[in-house]
Amino acid sequence: MVVAFAQRLPASVRRPQSLAASARRQRLFIAVWPDAETRVALSLAGTRFAASGRSVAPPNLHLTLTFLGSSSPEAVPRLLRVMREAHPLACNLHLDHFGYFATGKILWLGSAHPVPALLHYQRRLSIGLRQAGFPTENRTFKPHVTLARECTRPDLADQPPVSVHWRAREFALVESVSVPGGVRYRVLESIKG
């Protein structure tokens, strides 16, 4: 009798996703991951704005190539294949100006002249992800490193010059893990460019 009743319910009610299955979902993104020396330089560049907002913890500093959102662990091998097939190349990044995204109140450090190799990899990555059935962001890629969140709009015109040189050679699939007081980023696997 219970079985007959369950069969009449909509599929979403009949077969709810178990708590274990939903717990296995991961918030993922693909990023250029800095080495220790670059991470220190990025962190120091952001210190001048420490009073303006919530600084990104140094271990979390990175340059996002694409945000993937909630994904199953079973998707990881396919994501890594797409990353490899897009052929990342090591490149020299020169981060030389601050910017501000009013939406999200984000203070960032970027490049006045983005490196073509990075732009091409991000474009190949987006195409590969779409072809593999993954959702991709529908906005223009603006390479940057988020330095602070929830910022009041700083006066960027009067800032002294900034210059962070970064030999970008690690391209990482990263999980965003919620922790008390924020998030922690965990590299699941990285590919050398």
pTM of the model as a whole:
0.85
Q: What is the pLDDT of residue 74?
A: 95
The segments of the chain whose pLDDT lies below 50 read 1-22
Q: What is the pLDDT of residue 137?
A: 87
Segment 120-154, tens digit of pLDDT: 999 999 999 999 999 888 889 999 999 999 999 98
Q: What is the pLDDT of residue 16?
A: 42
Q: What is the pLDDT of residue 23?
A: 56
Q: What is the pLDDT of residue 52?
A: 86
Q: What is the pLDDT of residue 8?
A: 40
Q: What is the pLDDT of residue 188?
A: 97
Kindly report the backbone phi and psi dihedral angles of residue 117, in degrees, each rounded to the nearest multiple of 5, phi listed first.
-60, -40
